[in-house]
Structure 1
Amino acid sequence: MGLLATACGGTGSEAGSGSRPPGSAAGFPLTVEDCTGTRTTFESPPRKIVTSNASGLEILLRLGAADRIIGTGFPPAKGALPDGLAARAAKVPVLGRTVIPKEKLLGSGADAYLETFGSMDAMGGDGLGPRREEYRAAGIKVVQLRSTACAALRKGPRNDLSEVTDDIRRLGALMGTSERAGVLVDGMEARISAIRQALGDLPESQRPTYFVFDFDGGTGQPIAVCGKQVANAVITLAGARNVFGDCDRDYKQVGWEDVVEKNPDWIQLAVRSRGSAASDAEAFREAERFLTSFPATRGLAAVKEGRFVRLRSEPVTIAGVGNADAVEQIARTVHADRFEGGR
């Protein structure tokens, strides 16, 4: 699954240690393994990388690899990244507003492709991406993130962010920036540890139920985040219970009657970034207005009592450093009494 970093003459933790220049051979050769168990060896850090979406792009930017990213698909929405990262992301050529067309990807000149959606066979099989032999012919080595690409293959729900932090560490090894990766992971783990300490030994009966309302995903038939999605780990670490956490997949279309039956204690107004705090605030209000006026939901206790978490979709459902920030915001909202200053 995802990245499995090993190096000749060293352990995985030694591979790519330090912040070394792209041409450095320290920690290499290094082998990565995809979701199907296929292994690919890198003799040195990749120099020209294409990312399939904003998740992989953001992680590479945080690892200091901006000068090696030559293209991306599914670019981050305006305002979705912190200012420093947004400026660097804006310089990355957009090869596809959604999935990168196969011809563009194969002709990009990349020596590595950071893929976050699923197995390459599946992508090739349904026409969304190149096949293995086409990548090889183009000289592109494919790297997958286990926290996203392999989600459908995992067994059981996701209750922590270990797969995300593992990806960050292993990508750091591949990029030759392990020290930077370690700093990012240490920061995430410190914030989560502080939340865990504040919540204490919280019994299941005191964990409120929680529904992620993907407002931008459509209001006709809601899309639920299930147990295999990274959001399930975020919600669990925040001391809550995903009402659709028993669904054995990452996403699932449900009916409003299913949401009503679950009767969540809290509802996240999950909107995608609109580009500014003011625009985001208006989107949150739109989502709330829908729930308070829609016949199926206006009678829910969470709706009548205004138990809403106003938190954008990206840090909750997209794997990355922002997941730790989302854990903190949710916990401080649904367990306000356990934190100084309340909500």
Structure 2
Amino acid sequence: MRSRVLCGVAAAVALLVTGCGSGAEQVGAPAPDRTGSAAAAYPVKESDCAGAETTFTAAPQRIVTSNASSLEMLLWLGAGDKVIGTGFPPGAGTMPAQLADQAAKVPVLGQTVIPKEKLLGSGADLYVDTFADMGAMGGGMGTAPTGQEFAAAGIKHLYLHSTACAAMLKGPQQDLSQVEQDIRSLGAVTGTAARAEELVAGMEQKVQGVRKALAGLRAEQEPTYFFFDFDAGTKQPMAVCDKQVANAVISLAGARNVFDGCDGDFKAVSWEDVVAKNPDWIQLGVRNQGSDAANQKAFDAAEQFLRSFPATKGLKAVQEGHFVRIGSEVTTIAGVRNADTVQQIAHLVHPDLVKS
């Protein structure tokens, strides 16, 4: 399962979608943070995927991120000046415009997974991990540091639960609460809890707007929806399952993920499985190429495959031209812009109900 994450998602994390404007600036009044105070409060305790706690008595000053998605979260929070390095760096033109200059200044410690020795010798006091098992993803780059090695290097290890711990969740992701909690956790740890609440409020405002617009929608009126991960390869399709962030995004947009019954985050399926589902809509899941022109070319290639491949050219969505051109990252990777994706999908599949 982890190798799937490397091939189809983690490799895409280096390129983050810029097509929609962020909702982070359209926010309501900040709510009290999780410590009960609007100001930073320590100690803060955060748990890993197994429930083991790490205590923070002060804000970290030297942060390394595993990839561009956790880096983007920290930039939104205003903690970007504490980031001293990242793996899977953002590609040119893929960060939101207001974050791009700062993101470009972050040192790159690894074009993919950061090598173990470089991470341990980075001087970091916090490593923010988007992945469940970096060692399994590292290929020829060696194994991940152990807990003892992190401790010996003075590095605390923080996981994004919405992605790193997704496969261990007790139930499906049907809303953005896990993503929002990751933002709140990073805010609490970095002393930016008030800003975290602003970001979450902006996300919730957008999602609630969609929910209100779709309030009268009956279950049988929800179109079926297939996320086609074109970048993962076309020989065997990969399904996003019910514990993946994309399942929540699709559900909130008033659609039904055709593979929401598979337990986990990702699963290899067959084209026969896709044909049997015969989705009403297909999202062309391609990673951000860095420009509108390059993105459209990638979307065109994905659509052309579906229109010409014998197994898929007869699908309902293909015949009716029901393609969603929204990139992979803002759909499958946790972040502030997931709420924008909910709005975009809802507008496309329910144009009479969701106007913008």
The normalised TM-score by structure 2 is 0.87
Alignment of 1:270-285 (within 5 A): 270-285=285-300
- The residue type paired with residue 164 of structure 2 is A
Alignment of 1:63-212 (within 5 A): 63-118=77-132, 128-212=143-227
Displacement after TM superposition at 1:76 (Å)? 2.2
Is 1:319 aligned to 2:340, yes or no? no
- CA gap of 1:15–1:57, structure 2 versus 1, over 3 A, is farther
The total of aligned residue pairs comes to 323
Structure 1 residues 132-168: Cα deviation after superposition (integer angstroms, max 9, x where no partner)? 1000110101111111111111122110000111111
Structure 2 gaps of 5+ residues are 1-31
Displacement after TM superposition at 1:122 (Å)? 7.5
Displacement after TM superposition at 1:291 (Å)? 0.6
Distance 2:306 2:92 in 1: 26
Tell me which of 26, 35, 42 is aligned to 1:14. Answer: 35
- Corresponding position of 2:273: 258
Query: 3-state SS of the aligned residue for 2:262?
Result: coil
Structure 1 gaps of 5+ residues are 1-10, 19-25
Is 1:238 aligned to 2:253, yes or no? yes
Structure 1 residues 98-146: Cα deviation after superposition (integer angstroms, max 9, x where no partner)? 111100000000000001211689789x953100100011010111111
- Corresponding position of 1:215: 230
Displacement after TM superposition at 1:340 (Å)? 3.6
- CA gap of 1:103–1:172, structure 2 versus 1, over 3 A, is same
- The residue type paired with residue 240 of structure 1 is A
- CA gap of 1:69–1:16, structure 2 versus 1, over 3 A, is farther
Displacement after TM superposition at 1:83 (Å)? 1.2
- Corresponding position of 1:39: 53
- Corresponding position of 1:7: none
The normalised TM-score by structure 1 is 0.90
Distance 2:37 2:65 in 1: 20
Structure 1 residues 16-53: Cα deviation after superposition (integer angstroms, max 9, x where no partner)? 733xxxxxxx5112222111121111120000000111
- Corresponding position of 1:286: 301
- Say whether the 8 Å CA contact 1:159–1:236 is kept in structure 2: yes
Distance 1:219 1:94 in 2: 31
Distance 2:38 2:179 in 1: 19
Distance 1:69 1:16 in 2: 25
- Say whether the 8 Å CA contact 1:145–1:167 is kept in structure 2: yes
Bigger mean CA offset, 86-95 vs 320-329: 86-95
- Corresponding position of 1:56: 70
Is 1:330 aligned to 2:345, yes or no? yes
Distance 1:50 1:340 in 2: 40
Q: Percent same amino acid among aligned pairs?
A: 61
Distance 1:284 1:312 in 2: 9
* Greater relative contact order, per chain length (Cα 8 Å cut-off, separation 6+): 2
Query: 3-state SS of the aligned residue for 1:148?
Result: helix
Displacement after TM superposition at 1:178 (Å)? 1.2
